[in-house]
Structure 1
């Protein structure tokens, strides 16, 4: 992308006070930071737990933290102390968005509930990233990625396909709900531009992940009284997987009528092209196990390279498999500069993934995630606190700043 014509960041004038931790909330706020928002990460004295999750060049900048906290600033406040809460309120007075992933009941006890903060700042977007929706049977209960994957049908869908209930081998619920939180906050900001008013936005993990799962898997339950089951057969069949070839594996996706006709005709299976079970998408869906088992048998007859050449010739989507370690060298990702290296003042080199979104008039280069308390003093000064007040907070440990780096 040519950055010479860039005018301003898309969210360049937006300030976000972020009390979230772990993955759900920090992933959402990183997306907003990638659009140029000034994200102020408010941490307790111990810091976000992900600061110590995974390998690290230095304590507090571990791998998981690096992946979800770029382009942010860090302030450390002990919200158990009144002066810290007062400092946070001063930050809120100048903020556009306040987001947290703390139980609503605890926020109310701290005097940081939506009514209290929006009374101070009527333009504030107050985003509660909760485990479960307010007023529901599970209101206030803790939620983590694994428990939400279990509740929302993820583990059941894997059991239907493999015979064993398992979680997806990625932090699927946290990241999916983080995406939903980011777009919900953007929508609220857009509405505020129209009305001038802030609002409360709730993003409950259970409801968000269940909505995600039921896009296709609600399936027959849409038809009230028809006694049709949930679960989209095409994605639940155990035959839906990378297919073994004569020398490896391949991901192939014949989908349309034309794809399947060209596949069967080009592989010497002309009779299958006329088989009524496979001639339309409704028939293929009803007989998906037989179809994918047949596909699996055929794929073993040629090498991976032969299949890739065949599929390119007959215009059927197909790719090789990338291992996680191979992604950095994928020719497409390299050609679009997807990975970016940064060197810090300690001469450590970090590799980051840029935002996948590219905008003609907005670009924010990845910047190092903040060290714990790196920006405490400058942020409190921006909030209107005096040097005397800040020093008193540091002395009482109501606030903490980054110690000097050696």
Structure 2
């Protein structure tokens, strides 16, 4: 069996995280992804700590499985011609090069659709077209700062903070992969490709607004923006006698079971807590009483009590604890493989499953230009032509 995108060819001109997570998602579903790398390669090869050899950081390995790598200097005519030849045969082009750079290189949708009318052109941008920020550079912290993510931390903790993950890159990258799937479906009906623009800022502003617009949804506003439950300082893992736990009753059945579990069954009659609306309006008091109660027993004791009462609860995992989590172990979440150059590696498998089949073979993340010669042969280059391109630097492979 193969993945749902088997037979789809993707040309990937992306770097860092937002683009590679989009193309890895497509690759994990069976698409053939050809990663086009400029001299020096994707900066993520060097940016993250942890590597056994140069240009192969652990982070790069995680974001670039199931891809082939071709090294091209598209500033040279032969390199640019090879990229155009790839795009002429591709189904999808994904890039996070800024729009002005795409136009200068002749990689904008208008130019490429004339070359390949069936091409789906997906441009992941920091900011959308038409606004004053368009064409500015940005990375995840810039978008977290601008979109209200850091501001939500300030409301909650008293100081602006970033989520300690490149969250906006992940969200925008997954949205880009989703949009490509939508466009492929429409192409099945129309036969034509199309341009997709995925702006990181607007997508994250939408993400934050969906959670926190709240009373400001109405015009005029019925109150300030912000979901006070999520902005509570108690909205976090809470201390027990010997560690931390997260317990999160939500509907009435769960809330009343929680009250019974902590020895306060009378709270189900308290008008501050006897309905979801009341608990939301009195979130600070509700969260504070939860915090006080949880200090009275150990984490293991509470987990047993809440499991018996069917109250949503879980232990607190540190980053290292994920490697030993019993559920992840049981579902086969962690996989180990022998990378041809990097030795034994651990990776998280694709969590989602399709009954019609999944990609069976996992291709290890490539060394820079690993597949350059093979891909050029597929494009019709003979050995002399490949050797010439390698000599001039129009094409390259690590160590070649």
Q: Where do 4+ consecutive residues of structure 1 move more than 4 Å?
A: none
- Report the CA distance between 1:363 and its aligned residue: 2.2
Identify the residue that residue 220 of structure 2 maps to in structure 1.
225
- Report the CA distance between 1:360 and its aligned residue: 2.2
Aligned counterpart for 1:319 among listed residues 300, 314, 321: 314
Alignment of 1:17 with 2:14, yes or no, is no
- Report the CA distance between 1:77 and its aligned residue: 0.7
Identify the residue that residue 45 of structure 2 maps to in structure 1.
51
Q: Secondary structure at the match of 1:235?
A: helix
Alignment of 1:369 with 2:365, yes or no, is yes
Greater Cα offset, 377-386 or 295-304: 377-386
Aligned counterpart for 2:22 among listed residues 13, 25, 28: 28
Q: Secondary structure at the match of 1:59?
A: coil
Alignment of 1:127 with 2:109, yes or no, is no
Aligned ranges 1:350-369 → 2 under 5 Å: 350-364=345-359, 365-369=361-365
TM-score normalised by L of structure 1 = 0.95
TM-score normalised by L of structure 2 = 0.97
Q: Secondary structure at the match of 1:277?
A: coil
Aligned counterpart for 1:255 among listed residues 229, 244, 250: 250
Matched-pair contact (CA < 8 Å) for 1:94–1:383:
no
- Report the CA distance between 1:367 and its aligned residue: 2.5
Q: Secondary structure at the match of 1:126?
A: strand
Residues 21-56 of structure 1, C-alpha deviations (whole Å, 9 max, x = no match): 000000110010000111000000100011112211
Identify the residue that residue 68 of structure 2 maps to in structure 1.
73
Q: Secondary structure at the match of 1:373?
A: coil
Task: Note the aligned Cα RMSD (angstroms).
Answer: 1.3
Matches of 1:102 and 1:338, distance apart in 2: 33
Matches of 1:177 and 1:347, distance apart in 2: 29
Matched-pair contact (CA < 8 Å) for 1:35–1:362:
no
Q: 1:347 to 1:295 in 2, by over 3 A?
A: closer
Identify the residue that residue 3 of structure 1 maps to in structure 2.
none
- Report the CA distance between 1:228 and its aligned residue: 2.1
Q: Secondary structure at the match of 2:3?
A: coil
Identify the residue that residue 383 of structure 1 maps to in structure 2.
379
Greater Cα offset, 11-20 or 378-387: 378-387
- Report the CA distance between 1:219 and its aligned residue: 1.1
- Report the CA distance between 1:17 and its aligned residue: 0.4
Matches of 1:396 and 1:146, distance apart in 2: 38
- Report the CA distance between 1:387 and its aligned residue: 2.7
Residues 351-380 of structure 1, C-alpha deviations (whole Å, 9 max, x = no match): 111111122232224331010000001111
Identify the residue that residue 399 of structure 2 maps to in structure 1.
403
Alignment of 1:42 with 2:5, yes or no, is no
Q: 1:346 to 1:178 in 2, by over 3 A?
A: closer
Query: Structure 2, unaligned stretches of length 5 or more?
Result: none
Aligned ranges 1:4-403 → 2 under 5 Å: 6=1, 8-52=2-46, 53-346=48-341, 348-364=343-359, 365-403=361-399
Matched-pair contact (CA < 8 Å) for 2:3–2:28:
no
Matched-pair contact (CA < 8 Å) for 1:352–1:366:
no
Number of residue pairs aligned between Structure 1 and Structure 2: 398
Residues 184-217 of structure 1, C-alpha deviations (whole Å, 9 max, x = no match): 1111111101111100000011011111112211
Query: Structure 1, unaligned stretches of length 5 or more?
Result: 1-5
Matched-pair contact (CA < 8 Å) for 1:354–1:366:
no
Matched-pair contact (CA < 8 Å) for 2:126–2:137:
yes
Q: Secondary structure at the match of 1:276?
A: coil
Matched-pair contact (CA < 8 Å) for 2:261–2:306:
no
Matches of 2:353 and 2:37, distance apart in 1: 30
Residues 100-140 of structure 1, C-alpha deviations (whole Å, 9 max, x = no match): 11111111111111100011100000010111011211110
